[in-house]
Chain A
Amino acid sequence: EPEVTQTPSHQVTQMGQEVILRCVPISNHLYFYWYRQILGQKVEFLVSFYNNEISEKSEIFDDQFSVERPDGSNFTLKIRSTKLEDSAMYFCASSESGWYTGELFFGEGSRLTVL
């Protein structure tokens, strides 16, 4: 069964360092998303991406964050200068259809720990 894959599964970094989280969406999907979940809290929307541009972003997704689809398969989330409060599980998701979203499929997450 096709699945969304994410790397790394866990990353530990020092405050102020740049981090890139990688995702390989399901191959025929066109709509991509990043979500995050701070430990013990609910899953929060960060950004949606379609046709090589950001479709929507939340207030969390400030100038420290960026997304990119550098080739035909990868979808990345970059945090330019990490803060302690960026420690969270980051989930990538993809969907086949965009209008009215369609069913989202999530990866297993990348746990980011900022020290």
Chain B
Amino acid sequence: GIQVEQSPPDLILQEGANSTLRCNFSDSVNNLQWFHQNPWGQLINLFYIPSGTKQNGRLSATTVATERYSLLYISSSQTTDSGVYFCAVEEGYSSASKIIFGSGTRLSIRP
């Protein structure tokens, strides 16, 4: 099956810093999503980005499907950005294909 690798596994930053999280995948994909899992365990949709670039406030994401990677940028980090960031890609071509999660990047923002 498809492999999804995220880097770095852990990242500790001071409030106000910028960061780039990377997601590599082993095969071509049709869809890719970024999620933020907050300290309460909730999975929050950040971006649905099979290709191209999107921005939402301080967050932006870019997927280059032909080169099998996606990047999540967080600018001017705040303590509320802490948590685990997951990349998930679609595997399979059936009607109700599943998405496969990477292992995540644990981000800790210190005040």
Interface residues of A (CB under 8 A from B): 31-33, 35, 37, 42-45, 48-50, 55-56, 58, 89, 91, 98-106, 108-109, 111
Main secondary structure of the interface of A (DSSP, over half): strand
Q: Which residues of B contact A108 (CB under 8 A)?
A: 41-42
Interface residues of B (CB under 8 A from A): 30-31, 33, 35, 41-43, 45, 48, 86, 88, 90, 92-104
How far does the alpha carbon of A21 sit from the alpha carbon of B31 in the complex, in Å?
Answer: 28
A43 and B96: CB pair below 8 A? no
Q: Which residues of A contact B43 (CB under 8 A)?
A: 43, 91, 106, 109
- Once A42-B101, A43-B86, A100-B90 are accepted as A-B contacts, the answer to whether A109 and B42 lie under 8 Å apart by CB is yes
Which chain B residue lies CB-closest to A100?
Answer: B30
Q: Which of these, B30, B45, B98, contacts A45 with CB under 8 Å? A: B98
B98 and A48: CB pair below 8 A? yes
